[in-house]
Each structure stands twice: as C-alpha cells, then as structure tokens.
C-alpha cells in the first residue's frame, strides 16, 4: 500500500473531532484555534524498537505507549491533552500490525478527547515519534523549577514493576508465573496521570514524570530548583510482586533507577500538603510521601532513620 493510501485508510478516520481543530489531516499543516488565556504545552517523544520497547512487543501496546508517554509529560505540566501528531517509520506495510497499532493509539486518544491532526509516514527501521499538545491556564503551569527547601516529596502509584517486567523479558530474573501478566501490563500499557496533573496545578510547587528512574528525575527537579532532597527508602511504594521477586534491597534499587514507571513525582509545601492529599484521595489517585526537599543541593537517602549510601542512577541515552 502506498503512503497516502495508508494514511487515508488508517489515520484519517477517527472518533475524536475537536471543535478547536480548524484543519486536520490532509494538508501541509494542521490549523488549531486554542482558547484565550491558555498556554499550549508541547512535548515530543520517540520510541525506537529494541530501545524503548522489546522487538516482540505487541503493536497494540506500542500504539498505546506511544501516546501514553507523551500524555505523562503533559500531566507533569498540569496540561489537558488536546492534539497529537504522529511520525511513523515502518519496515514494510503490514495490515494486521497497523490495525492493532491504531487500536492502541486511538483508544487513548478517544478516552482523553485527543485528535490526531497530522504527521508523517516513512519506510525504515521501526520507530514512532509523537508530538502531543495540551492546554494549561496561563497562571498555573507546573514546572520543575518551583521546589523549595521544606517541601514534601510525593509520588503517585507504585515504582519498579515496569523495570522488573523488562528484566523478565531480558531473562535477567525469574518471576512466578502468576506475576508475569500484571507486570507486563505495567510496562506495555502505562497509565498516564493526567487527572492528577491537572489537580496538582493548584497544590504542587514542582513536578516531573518518572520515565528514567526516580533518582534521575528527582535530580532534574533539584537542579532546576536549586535545592536538594532526602528520600526515605522505607517509604517507597513497592508492589508485593517486586519485593517478593527481588527481595527488599534489590527492589529498592530498581525502584530508584529502573524507569518506565510514568508516575508523577512532585513537591508540595507544608501549607498545601493536607489539601492536596485530600483532593487526590477523593479522586482515587494513590500517592505516597517519600521524602523532603532541603538546601543541600544533593540527593541523600535514609532507611530506618539512618543515612544510607546508594550507588544507582537512572537511564540516559549515550551514557
């Protein structure tokens, strides 16, 4: 199938048709008309076969994840998702693969009222690049640079299960059979914390999504805000699957450095702490306080109320 026929068949027809999209797929550019007093938050992520997902990952999971990782970035800014564009590079035309890929992609788009407004298709090694755009009120975007000494450090959800799934796929760990499906779901079908991000606009002093590992991503907040942090290792939200499989010590290390969690890491002042916890709890969003910011400009860790040295780091390309 030729390129333009492929685009027409798989990407032109979609459920979501937003009123703020003046011109969508089919021209040289898309035209959008954002509302007044809203910033447009823009993020781009590329997923490469064998780097960001194993080569035998299902196309439905790839489609889901390509949208989810971008929505996680928007969530970290407190943005409401609105539009995406897709650059898809395929080794060859495969109707079944594309059908499943689009099912995963458009499922999330429909759920969050996102319209695919354009992109590109090329032939080559499998890779997917998505640019996602969202809306955030001009006076309340979340940033990495607002944390202050004394702020409390929180994360949503649990940490480390996606990294455990990757280790399983790479034959680095042996996992009980009943644990396999739950952790593979964490890796292949991450749930971006879009609602949490929008709520946190009113409470958080800084935020970031957890894609490269807690230690690495917390380091970005510390650097941008000019502060340090102490993390209480006893408080890290670890699943029973992770601890039962690896033991507590290795589970903590994977939670700190593993990546692919796509949870939110954020800081909250003492004054906003109770209000934030109440609102997120009422929204059914799990969260855990894991430490506190300080003036050290370093990340330290404690366990059983004692300082403990760790030697882990998150994922980084070209490292």
Domain ranges of the chain: 3-137, 152-308
Instruction: Supply the pLDDT for residue 25.
Output: 86
> pLDDT for 79-115, tens place per residue?
999 999 999 999 998 999 999 999 999 999 999 999 9
The count of other CB atoms within 10 Å of the CB of residue 177 is: 6
Low-confidence winner among 22-26, 36-40, 43-47, 168-172 (lowest mean pLDDT): 22-26
At 233, the pLDDT band (50, 70, 90 cuts) reads very high
pTM of the full predicted structure?
A: 0.92
Strand duo 21-23 + 31-32: pairing = antiparallel
Q: Decide if pLDDT at 318 tops 60.
A: no
Range with the poorest average pLDDT among 12-26, 80-94, 302-316: 302-316
Which tokens belong to 232? 């209480």
> CATH assignment of 152-308?
3.90.650.10
- Find the radius of gyration of the CA atoms of the chain: 20
Distances (CA, A) of 271 to 156, 208, 275: 20, 21, 8
For the stretch 121-145, pLDDT in tens is 999 999 999 999 999 999 888 999 9
**Res. 301: pLDDT tops 50:** yes
Residue 316 pLDDT: 47
Residue 18 pLDDT exceeds 90 = no
Count Cβ atoms below 10 Å from residue 92 Cβ, excluding itself: 7
Higher local confidence (pLDDT), 314 or 147: 147
29-46 tens-digit pLDDT: 999 998 999 999 999 999
| Topology (CATH level 3) of domain 3-137 | 60s Ribosomal Protein L30; Chain: A; (3.30.1330)
CA dihedral over 246, 251, 255, 257, signed as positive or negative = negative
């Amino acid at each position: 199938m030729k390129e333009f026929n492929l685009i027409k068949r798989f990407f032109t027809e979609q459920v979501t048709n937003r009123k703020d999209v003046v011109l969508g797929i089919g021209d040289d550019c898309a035209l959008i008309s954002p509302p007044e007093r809203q910033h447009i938050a823009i993020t781009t992520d590329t997923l490469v076969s064998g780097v960001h997902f194993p080569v035998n990952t299902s196309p439905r999971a790839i489609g889901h994840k390509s949208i989810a990782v971008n929505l996680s970035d928007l969530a970290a800014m407190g943005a409401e998702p609105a539009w995406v564009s897709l650059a898809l590079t395929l080794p060859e035309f495969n109707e079944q693969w594309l059908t499943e890929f689009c099912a995963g992609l458009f499922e999330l788009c429909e759920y969050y009222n996102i319209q695919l407004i354009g992109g590109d298709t090329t032939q080559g090694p499998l890779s997917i690049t998505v640019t996602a755009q969202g809306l955030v009120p001009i006076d309340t975007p979340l940033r990495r640079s607002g944390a202050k000494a004394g702020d409390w450090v929180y994360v949503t959800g649990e940490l480390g299960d996606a990294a455990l799934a990757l280790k399983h796929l790479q034959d680095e760990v042996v996992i009980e059979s009943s644990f396999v499906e739950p952790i593979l779901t964490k890796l292949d079908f991450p749930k971006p914390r879009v609602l949490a991000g929008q709520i946190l606009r009113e409470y958080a002093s800084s935020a970031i999504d957890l894609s490269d590992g807690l230690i690495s991503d917390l380091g970005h907040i510390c650097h941008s805000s000019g502060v340090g942090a102490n993390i209480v290792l006893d408080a890290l939200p670890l699943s029973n699957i992770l601890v039962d499989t690896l033991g507590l010590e290795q589970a903590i290390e994977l939670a700190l450095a593993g990546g692919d969690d796509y949870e939110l890491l954020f800081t909250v002042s003492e004054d906003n702490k109770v209000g934030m916890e109440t609102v997120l709890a009422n929204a059914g969003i799990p969260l855990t306080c894991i430490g506190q910011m300080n003036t050290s400009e370093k990340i330290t860790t404690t366990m059983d109320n004692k300082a403990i040295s760790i030697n882990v780091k998150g994922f980084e390309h070209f490292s």
